[in-house]
Amino acid sequence: MDVGGYKCHAVEMCDFLLDGGAMFGVVPKPLWDRKIPSDAKNRIPLKSRSLLLCGHGRNILIDTGCGTKFSEKELAIYGVTATRSPDEALRDYGLSTAEITDVILTHLHFDHAGGTTFLKEGNAVPTFPNATYYIQKRQLNWAKYPTLRDRASFFAENWTPMETNGQLRVLDGNNLPIDGIELLFSDGHTCGQQLPLITGETESLLFCGDLIPTSAHIPIPWHMGYDNQPLLIMSEKEGVLKQAVAKNWTLFFEHDPTVAAATVKEGRKGIELDQVVKI
Ligand SMILES: [Zn+2]
């Protein structure tokens, strides 16, 4: 898929498992289990899928997957399998981590920012040595002083090395210095989540992050139990979906086990999935 002068590629970083009930909040299991069937431990399969944009002299990666720093015990807890290092994953596109110019992080939860760094002789060092990493100021502050509710998802080794060596660019609003990409914001999942919208003349692609993690999360009340502010995320999602229908945006799903991207349409019971888009 080409959008706004960028070639867009879905890059699968790893598979993992999370509790199905936690992924769908107040939605009863008989409903969500039909969309994404759970295993004997009630867990559903998810992916960490990054978006690679190549164009305008840049190679941009949006989110970085779980990374390679987890211990055997942590891998078992999160059911992480099929992990590829960013270097292995990028090789499919003829690129190395050294050729990534920009890394846009939606937020700093480990399944999005775990690949920002890797362990070298026991120390976390930047995976992308020549890239500028972008995060919102409010998210960085939230990650440094998390609540009891979400502190288990934040690991300082996923941002401190870049903050220390000057590779981390902290943004305060929609001022990403990259052509053809603007940012939407959502606070309902975590404070200061930024969602890149790649805008072309005829089509646009929205990286939905954890606002709409899978294609099963299109219905407004179908949101994650992990979301810090349920009512807020519902209204944010409604606003984004209305724009997506009106402007025919393609939505990119970071965690969907099978569907990487799709358009949406107005249906009989509200906004629903329309066409699956190859990316
Ligand atoms: Zn998250």
Over residues 228-274, the pLDDT tens digits come to 999 999 999 999 999 999 999 999 999 999 999 999 999 999 999 99
Using the mean position of ligand 1's atoms as its centre, give its distance from the Cα of residue 103 in Å. 17
User: 43 with 20: CB under 8 angstroms?
Assistant: yes
For residue 77, which amino acid is it? Answer: I
Q: What is the CA radius of gyration of the chain?
A: 18
Q: Which fold has domain 2-276?
A: Metallo-beta-lactamase; Chain A (3.60.15)
Using the mean position of ligand 1's atoms as its centre, give its distance from the Cα of residue 108 in Å. 7
pLDDT at 167: 98
Most distant CA pair in the chain, distance: 57
Using the mean position of ligand 1's atoms as its centre, give its distance from the Cα of residue 106 in Å. 9
pLDDT tens-digit profile of 35-58?
999 999 999 999 999 999 999 999
pLDDT category at 227 given cuts 50, 70, 90 is very high
User: 197 with 205: CB under 8 angstroms?
Assistant: yes
Using the mean position of ligand 1's atoms as its centre, give its distance from the Cα of residue 51 in Å. 16
Query: From CA 114, how far away is CA 154, in angstroms rounded?
Result: 9
* Residue, of 62 and 148, whose pLDDT is higher: 62
Pairing, β 2-3 against β 6-19: antiparallel
As residues whose CB is below 5 A from the ion ligand 1, the structure lists 109, 210
Pairing, β 261-267 against β 270-276: antiparallel
Using the mean position of ligand 1's atoms as its centre, give its distance from the Cα of residue 154 in Å. 10
Using the mean position of ligand 1's atoms as its centre, give its distance from the Cα of residue 7 in Å. 26
Using the mean position of ligand 1's atoms as its centre, give its distance from the Cα of residue 158 in Å. 14
Q: Quick one: 258 exposed, middle or buried, by C-beta within 10 A (0-12, 13-18, 19+)?
A: exposed
User: 1 with 261: CB under 8 angstroms?
Assistant: yes
Nearest to 71 by CA among 133, 180, 155: 155
> Where along the chain do its domains lie?
2-276
Structure tokens of 181? 């990409």
User: Residue 22 above 90 pLDDT?
Assistant: yes
pLDDT tens-digit profile of 2-13?
999 999 999 999
Using the mean position of ligand 1's atoms as its centre, give its distance from the Cα of residue 190 in Å. 7
Using the mean position of ligand 1's atoms as its centre, give its distance from the Cα of residue 234 in Å. 15
